[in-house]
Amino acid sequence: MSLDDRLDALLAPAAAAQSTPPETTRPAAAAPKGWEPGVRYEPGGAMLVTAPAAEAPGQDEADWRARVEELGLAVPDHFRVRLVEARHDPAAWHRDAQGEDAVTRPVWRCRFLIEPASPAWKSAEDIDTLVRDAMRRRRKPRPAVGAVERALVVVYADAQAGKVGRDGGTPELIARIADRFDRLDDHIRDLKAVGRAPTAAYWLDGGDCIEGFENTTQQAFTNDLTLTEMIRVHRRLTFEGLDRLAGRFGRVVAATCGSNHARVRRGKDAVGPPADDWGIEVMSQVADAYARNESAYGHVSFVVPERWRDTVSLDIAGTVVGLAHGHQYPRPEKAGDWWRAQTFGRQPIADAQILVTGHYHHFRAQQLGNGRLHIQAPTLDSGSDWYSVRSGEVSQQGLMVFSVGPDGWDDLRIL
């Protein structure tokens, strides 16, 4: 090409540039809401860093620190970097180059926390200060007596009137219960003395109020009362216990449940619905008697199971307390399984936070689930010698009491 030809080519208008169109690329997806890159300053000097989308986070703090420093953030001395959250973002991807050499890499979104390597209060001097200040804090004023509802719960379980055992028969039973009622008076005075006086009382009859004759053959030869006498003794003891509470509290609630010894039977077979129970009948008799004298007993109310149920629940000072005898499960350690099944079955104790039972003649308490409590009451009877012969275990008698207030239960004692 001559010089003139080259000059003409330089002066001619340039043709539109032709190039091979790049491969179709997918634009990077915007960060999901809440994952926008940035730094949030936390109390105590910590920083929460949301990093831009990049490759998967490293395996240790050195990798995490390098990732943060690449963003232009300086990690202060005595601070550490901790990966607190990492998510793979399938909607975003990154290419290193275009054309045949392009490499697609997965995208991760990460949050890192830059925090003190050791909390400032952990120095020896600060720990001393922490303990000293906590111990010298001003105590919160105690609520005035009567300003909040506090309920006394009295659990009367397994008296089995008419039964004879190692600790005697009916005379000894009556004397034992009279002594426990005297201790109950002392307990009420003790609560008042320490500023936790109850404002209401609940009488929970845990069942097996009488021995009966149809549970085992030996009852026909060892009992010292007839069936009607057993019922009469239990009724009069119930009157005595409730009278003591009715004379001291402006509100009293009495409840009972179905049980095995008190169930109406023909031989060993139950007769009628679960509510066909001598303990439930006696409670109904007491309720009828109190209804005759509203001026003296109008503040006493009664709760018994529905006809086809043998358990009840009560709202006691804001806490739901369930009452069951305990014969529904084969061993005391199975109470939790039975209670869970009752909850699934929406039975009367489904919403109970505290479950009170008897039947197994010894005290037992177990926390279950999230804040639920099973309390098994001790017996009031004269002893179960057949069980002692078989197992060597001897039940200790007692009247169980506890209180329920705005903060839950407390003051649990065996009188």
Q: Tell me: pLDDT of 191 over 50.
A: yes
In this predicted model, what pLDDT tens digit does every residue of 233-290 receive, in sequence order?
999 999 999 999 999 999 999 999 999 999 999 988 898 999 999 999 999 999 999 9
Q: Are 389 and 383 in contact (CB under 8 A)?
A: no
Quote the percentage of the chain above a pLDDT of 70. 87
What the block records as the tokens of 225 is 């009362």
The pLDDT of residue 260? 95
Q: Tell me: pLDDT of 405 over 90.
A: yes
Q: How sure is the predictor about 3, in pLDDT bands with cuts at 50, 70 and 90?
A: very low
The pLDDT of residue 10? 42
The pLDDT of residue 34? 83
The crossing angle, in degrees rounded to 10, of helices 227-246 and 170-193 is: 10
Average pLDDT over residues 54-74: 87
Average pLDDT over residues 117-127: 71
Average pLDDT over residues 47-74: 87
Q: Are 157 and 208 in contact (CB under 8 A)?
A: yes
The pLDDT of residue 104? 64
45-49, 137-141, 242-246, 343-347: range with lowest mean pLDDT: 137-141
Going by C-alpha positions, the residue among 146, 88, 151, 81 that lies closest to residue 117 is: 81
What the block records as the tokens of 187 is 């307990």
Q: How sure is the predictor about 53, in pLDDT bands with cuts at 50, 70 and 90?
A: confident
Q: Which of 15-19, 87-91, 154-158 has the highest mean pLDDT?
A: 154-158
The span from the CA of 288 to the CA of 192, in Å, is 32
Give me the sign of the Cα torsion angle 177, 295, 204, 244: negative
In this predicted model, what pLDDT tens digit does every residue of 291-335 receive, in sequence order?
999 999 999 999 999 999 999 999 999 999 999 999 999 999 999
In this predicted model, what pLDDT tens digit does every residue of 5-27 receive, in sequence order?
544 554 455 554 444 444 444 45
Q: In whole numbers, what is the pLDDT of the chain averaged over residues? A: 87
User: Domains (ranges, CATH) in the chain?
Assistant: 34-121 (no CATH), 151-414 (3.60.21)
The pLDDT of residue 92? 65
3-state secondary structure string, the chain?
CCHHHHHHHHHCCCCCCCCCCCCCCCCCCCCCCCCCCEEEECHHHCEEEECCCECCCCCCHHHHHHHHHHCCCCCCCCEEEEEEEEEEEEEEEEECCCHHHCCEEEEEEEEEEEEECCCHHHCHHHHHHHHHHHHCCCCCCCCCCCCCCCEEEEEECCCCECCCECCECHHHHHHHHHHHHHHHHHHHHHHHHCCCCCCEEEEEECCCCECCCCCCCCHHHHCCCCHHHHHHHHHHHHHHHHHHHHCCCCCEEEEECCCCCCECEECCEECCCCCCEHHHHHHHHHHHHHHCCHHHHCCEEEECCCCCCCCEEEEECCEEEEECCCCCCCCHHHHHHHHHHHHHCCCCCCCCCEEEECCCCCCEEEEECCCEEEEECCCCCCCCHHHHHHHCCCCCCCCEEEEEECCEEEEEEEC
The span from the CA of 228 to the CA of 220, in Å, is 14
Q: List CB contacts of 318: < 8 A, sequence separation 6 or more.
A: 149, 404, 406
In this predicted model, what pLDDT tens digit does every residue of 337-389 receive, in sequence order?
999 999 999 999 999 999 999 999 999 999 999 999 999 999 999 988 877 87
CB atoms within 10 A of CB 271: 11
Q: Are 395 and 157 in contact (CB under 8 A)?
A: no
Letter for the amino acid at 379? T
Letter for the amino acid at 92? A
Q: What is the largest CA-CA distance in the chain?
A: 141
| Dihedral angle over CA of 301, 307, 313, 315, nearest 10 | -40
Quote the percentage of the chain above a pLDDT of 90. 59
The pLDDT of residue 22? 47
Q: Which of 70-74, 172-176, 268-272 has the highest mean pLDDT?
A: 172-176
